Amino acid sequence: MTQLKKKRIGLYARVSTEMQTDGYSIQGQLNQLKDYCQFQGYEVVNEYTDRGISGKTTQRPELQRMLKDANDGKLDCIMVYKTNRLARNTSDLLNIVEELYKINVEFFSLTEKIEIASSTGKLMLQILASFSEFERNTIVENVYNGQRQRAIEGYYQGNLPLGYDKVPDSKKELMINQHEANIVKYIFESYAKGHGYRKIANALNHKGYVTKKGKPFSISSITYIISNPFYIGKIQFAKYRHWSDKRRKGLNEEPIIADGKHAPII
């Protein structure tokens, strides 16, 4: 990095839900960045941290705040611990860095020693961005394949559905919670009698019953229970696949339906 002394530096750090175990804690990133700046005599004017947000989207509060500060002339350089902290999508990363370059704000990666002032630095950034995106896609694919296999084997994944608890000392097995199971039965029985979702929800709320998360019943929560094959002993996986540009889930025409290891309530 050239002539960064006396320049105003913004530090950016991020951890995402899918990268919590990769060793890059927020504080760990910031500590190394601040140590480096102190050693070089650079001035850190602000820190920006996005917690629990994936690098596959640029709509992160602190990232947007940092970019606004850069556009407002409050920063001369943005420094990250590693390029994939800024973005994991190649095009996103290159677009962000290009925008910074246009407003004369430098970008520097501590571990990869990349700066964009030279053509070599730009080439290295493109290569690292491509590897970063490949790594993320591989992680997502491996996670999906593992979840798919567990579903085929009949094991439930995700938040516990109403009517079930985990078997003590077991990570996979579920057992029926009789009190909650009675609520589930009431929902199905009421629906079979022709009652609408709103009427069923109102009746449950009037009786003082709550969802698994301790919230009042709603039309959506009743709809979810009625349409969930889990209650007849089935496991459904990949009902939704692929996100559109508007971040809306699309229905999967061929979801996995398998016999579950759990006992049915209905």
* Whole-angstrom distance, CA of residue 219 vs CA of residue 242: 25
Kindly give, in sequence order, each residue whose CB lies less than 8 Å from that of residue 43, ignoring residues fewer than 6 positions away: 6, 7, 8, 9, 37
Residue 55 is predicted with a pLDDT of: 62
Write down the number of H helices and E strands in the chain: 8, 11
Matching fold, domains 8-137 and 153-259: no
Structure tokens at 204: 């449950």
pLDDT band of 263, cuts 50, 70, 90 = very high
Place of tokens 């007849």: 232
Residue range 77-101, pLDDT digits in tens: 999 998 888 887 777 888 888 888 8
pTM for the predicted model, two decimal places: 0.54
Place of tokens 């407003």: 103
Q: Is 79 exposed, middle or buried (0-12, 13-18, 19+ CB in 10 A)?
A: buried
Q: Please report, as a single letter, which amino acid is at residue 22.
A: D
Residue 145 is predicted with a pLDDT of: 84
Based on the residue annotation, tell me whether 244 is a catalytic residue of this protein.
no
Structure tokens at 128: 């690292």
* Assigned CATH class of 8-137: alpha beta
Which one of 16, 54, 109, 132 is the catalytic residue? 16
Mean of the pLDDT values across residues 43-59? 84
Per-domain residue ranges of the chain: 8-137, 153-259
Domain 153-259 has CATH 3.90.1750.20: yes
* Whole-angstrom distance, CA of residue 164 vs CA of residue 157: 13
pLDDT band of 4, cuts 50, 70, 90 = very low
> What one-character-per-residue DSSP string does 17-62 give?
GGGTTSS--HHHHHHHHHHHHHHHTPEEEEEEEEES--TT-S--HH
